[in-house]
Amino acid sequence: PSSFVMLRTVCRGGKQAIGTVISPVVHAGRQVLRQYAAAAAATPSTASPQGERKKMNLFTAINDALRIALETDANACVFGEDVGFGGVFRCTVGLQEQFGDQRVFNTPLCEQGIAGFAVGMAAVGATAIAEIQFADYIFPAFDQIVNEAAKYRYRSGNQYDCGGLTIRSPCGAVGHGGHYHSQSPEAYFAHTPGLKIVMPRTPVQAKGLLLASIRDPNPVLFMEPKALYRAAVEDVPVGDYTLPLGVGQIVQEGSDVTLVGWGAQVNVLMNASEMAAELGISCEVIDLCTILPWDRDLVANSVRKTGRLVISHEAPKTSGFAAEVAATIQNCCFLSLEAPIQRVCGYDTPFPLIFEKYYVPNAYKNLEAIKSVMEA
Amino acid sequence: SQMRSLKTFQRAFSTRDWAFKPTFTPEFTTHRYEKSMPAFRVMDQEGNILCKEFENIEKDQLIDFYKLMRKLNVTDTVFNISQRQNRVSFYMTSWGEEAEVIGSTAAIKFEDMVYPQYREQGGLMFRGFSIQDMAHQLFGNKNESGKGRQMPVHYGDKDKNWMTVSSPLGTQVPQAAGAGYHYRIRGEDKICMVYFGDGSASEGDSLTALNFAATLKCQTLFFCRNNLYAISTPADDQFAGDGIAPRGPAFNIPTIRVDGNDLFAVYNATKIARDIIVKEKGPVLIESLSYRVGDHSTSDFSKMYRDEEEMKKWENYLPIISDPILRLHKYIEKNNLIQDLEKVEKEWDDEVRKEVMKALTVAEKEKKAKISDLFLGVYHDKPLHLQEQEKELFDHLEKYGSEYGLKDYEAEQFA
């Protein structure tokens, strides 16, 4: 996307490249990315696989996972638009040089084609790792994902399956993405039995969860929060490791209220919890990590302890995934609840450009929700 | 290391030898498609051979093909009637397309993967799927390999390299491109053949599959059954171009157009197409011209949109009165390949009719799969929320089971 490349060029060039005039969109975007970087630094992974470690950011960790997948599985291929030269987010840098252009390759520009092609490869035994350049563009592939990949095993009576299919796609707000470079479409897919949906937050998670997703015998949608590609940095084990799917993480323990999120939003919840701590409120912050199937018992046990729940996501409020979490938790933890469950989400509008700052469920809005459940 | 890889790529791009090499001319032209691509035909509607070199099917094999074509036709007829009698809930016949489907499946290897659309049961029968197997699937009973998950005629059989049918149209076409790609890069001399109709060929999935297969070089045989109807939509409402065949060269795919009602033509064309794929390691497109004699399905009443007059219009091109079976009948008669041909045909047909009736009776009596099967196979394992939902249903059935006709399903303890 031209606007995003422009931002990176501007950032690299520094002030000299653009003089003293910066567009409000670019300025806002840089602010948001700086906030993400600061927040990401404050919330390292709680998972701790062993071995020698190296500093990686999110896209480098993903790159490393893809490399290991290609090294360890002769049937694996990585493909999508612009994957050959390294990808628009650099997730596939160096892979084509190392593994050749038959296993790492560009496809024509067609998401329904990418998804259908990937389904067919997986169906005959390949490990197909497809990329959809932005989650905003995944909708032409919706039919292949929902009607085909998700139902392959069930409808064939377990004769065929798409276990070897993984679809990776960048998602989420990035400061200047507007309608079509900011979406979080997890809720549409969470409504589809047969799929798994995974969203990492940290580089350690990203590498382990991606390897687990690739190796999981089910079709997996791996959603990568693009704002964290550069902003999230930590020491990641250089070896081959996986993290379990369907298992959430308690990022921070607390006693007064449970905060649930996924992806970049967890960092926002951590910021909110810091502000809440100044008011004497102790927050337990949970990263779902896997959205489908989600770790209900982890959240339920936490809510039975705290009695209060706030769920937050960038995606629009109505029928967002928080609705699923809220409905399930009120059902199993009703008598433990001290206050109604709060959802702090994007508004029910398309993702706006100049209003992004007002639109997103930021730390202040979450702080207000925390205060309201405490006061109830 | 990012900068190093950038320089490597820049060097690669600057020395790239472009396959796409446009040329320029001061002569202005608006290109218009001039002439319809003729369809290859070996045997005319009277059973006369027009080119001897393609009269190349061994007598015994030809008789087997003919027998199977009749078997398919009679099987379709009896199953269709059984739906009208409310025994089976749904059926789709393939009348008029017997040569097309059997001729093409017979021409490829058993190891080659086939992705059907939904009207290719003849090919599956060629590979050994029995009439009893079909009946089990139509009743969705516990013996069916798809375990009754889908509607009738959604066959699938991994042992016969036959992909499970799915209702969304055209989705199978790019999947076949992916399969063909995998075969090529794994160095296998296998192909993936995919069937799709004139209607499905309009789907975005189908058009993009051609582009993917050509660009990425996939060992895929795209077999389009142009039978001139997509439910009630005639070909004139489906495309303005010269059918599906011109789309092949547009994507740089070797293309063959063939008379789908001529067994010799279909068989030879498919064989040659397969050889091209294995040799050139890229796709081939075959457009087979035929006519959908029957209704789209038992939920369709085609007299609502076409009549005898309409069907007669196609007599000179693809006479449905003289369908693929009749054409081959005339050939066999002319060449004396079978003595007492009509008597033999009647014997065959009666035997098949009996076999289908028996298969229906057997399949009808079989139980459906256990209720717990509802929750199996959504994922590789059964996740917690599905285990809980299963328990919910079982608890419900313990109380209300008598309202549900449980005796039709394999017995199971719900406690």
Residue linked to tokens 């997703």: A213
A191-213 mean pLDDT: 98
The answer to whether residue A331 neighbours chain B at the CB level (below 8 Å) is no
Give SS3 for B159: helix
Query: Are B5 and A97 in contact (CB < 8 Å)?
Result: yes
Which of A105, A124, A217 minimises the CB distance to B182? A124
Give SS3 for B410: coil
A1-10 mean pLDDT: 39
Active site residue A111: yes
Give the mean pLDDT per block of 10 residues along chain B (415 residues): 60 74 95 95 94 97 97 95 95 96 98 98 98 98 94 97 98 98 97 98 98 98 97 96 97 98 97 98 97 93 85 58 83 97 96 97 97 97 97 96 93 87
Residue linked to tokens 């017997």: B98
DSSP B292-336: --S-SSTT--GGGT--HHHHHHTTTTS-STT-HHHHHHHHHHHTT
Nearest Cα neighbor of A113 from B210, B298, B240 is: B210
Task: Output the average pLDDT for chain A.
Answer: 92
Query: Are A143 and B168 in contact (CB < 8 Å)?
Result: yes
Rounded-to-integer distance, Cα A235 and Cα B166, Å: 46
Chain A residue with minimum CA distance to B8 = A97
Q: Which letter, b or e, does each residue of A136-151 get, where b requires 16 or more Cβ atoms within 10 Å of its Cβ?
A: bbbebbbbbbbbbbbb
Sheet holding A196-198, edge to edge: A104-106, A76-80, A127-131, A165-171, A220-225, A196-198, A290-292
B233/A13: higher pLDDT: B233
Rounded-to-integer distance, Cα A6 and Cα B374, Å: 52
Instruction: Give residues 107 to 146 of B whose Cβ lies within 8 Å of A.
Output: 113, 115, 144-146
Token pair listed for B192 = 């993936």
**What are A360-371's pLDDT values in tens digits?**
999 999 999 999
Substitution target in B379, B385, B387 with the highest count of A β-carbons within 10 Å is B379
For B239, counting Cβ atoms within 10 Å of its Cβ (0-12 exposed, 13-18 middle, 19+ buried), the class is: middle
C-alpha dihedral sign at B175, B176, B177, B181 = positive
Q: How many residues does chain A have?
A: 376
Cβ atoms of residues B92 and B116 within 8 Å: no
Nearest Cα neighbor of A257 from A328, A329, A206 is: A329
- CA B67 to chain centroid: 20
- Bridge pairing between strands A220-225 and A257-261: unpaired
C-alpha dihedral sign at A324, A325, A331, A335 = negative
DSSP B19-74: S------SS-------SPPPPB-SB-TTS-BS-GGG--S-HHHHHHHHHHHHHHHH
Read off the amino acid at residue A332.
C
B15/A287: higher pLDDT: A287
Active site residue A176: no
